[in-house]
Amino acid sequence: MNILAIDTGQAACSVALWRDGAVVAHRMLPMPKGHAEALVPMIEEVQAEADFAFDDLDAFAVTVGPGTFTGLRVGMATARGLALASAKPLIGVTTLEAIAWPARAEANEGTAIAAVFDARRNEIYLQCFARDGSALTEPGLVSLGALAAHVPDRELLCVGTGAGLLHDHSEKAGRESALSTASPLPDARVVAEIAATREPEPGKLPGPLYLRAPDAKLPKAPLGAPQAPLP
């Protein structure tokens, strides 16, 4: 299976080509912003290195969130455009799945892998997974004061930019937890590997998983002015 995977969901931008069971070309740069300028050149570099045409692909894959509003829009818009133009399926992978997947190598039987992003404002994006990669909880925006209701009653292996926050709160609550050595950011190599385990659904485009409304707000229209239609 040949898959071109893209991630722009968090503070990095990456592209990878999965071919016949392995990643054969990959680019990744840490960046809190600037994904729009970096993504297309990265795709072109991966395409030149692996020598493929979009028609050679079986599917595209992209991270759908949670993440930064602008970053997610860049990745999803690019992936959707490529998928539609080449009539190929697009597979969505959450950023939480992408950071939990490599941590499975460190997890014990019965451990819950807690994928965590720091969402600021004393909140985290959180989802827990079993060692086989299956979801134990739904992804959510969770207050640090309400963690007990959102994590399984078992040992936790914390991974992600919010791993330290969850680990500290777990220890204070007397819960057993550990910090993973896996990367705290999603990587297109992992996105491609996860996507390769899934059956593509032709004609179905995944939607974004925001979990929180964007901080930027549209200005209010003057009284009596016509209202813009909802997107």
Q: Is the pLDDT of residue 224 over 80?
A: no
- Model pLDDT for residues 57-82, shown as the tens digit of each residue: 999 999 999 999 999 999 999 999 99
- Model pLDDT for residues 22-67, shown as the tens digit of each residue: 999 999 999 999 999 999 999 999 999 999 999 999 999 999 999 9
Residue 128, CA distances (Å) to 25, 28, 115, 187 in order: 30, 26, 6, 19
What structural domains and CATH numbers belong to the chain?
A: 2-94+185-195 (3.30.420.40), 96-179 (3.30.420.40)
Give the three-class secondary structure for 132: coil
pTM value surpassing 0.85: yes
Give the whole-angstrom CA distance, residue 88 versus residue 107. 35
Two tokens, residue 21 = 């069971």
Give the whole-angstrom CA distance, residue 7 versus residue 12. 8
Backbone angle region of 137, left / alpha / beta, with phi > 0 → left and psi within -120 to 50 → alpha: beta
- Model pLDDT for residues 162-201, shown as the tens digit of each residue: 999 999 999 888 889 999 999 999 999 999 999 999 999 8
DSSP per residue, 192-209: HHHHTTS---TT--PPP-
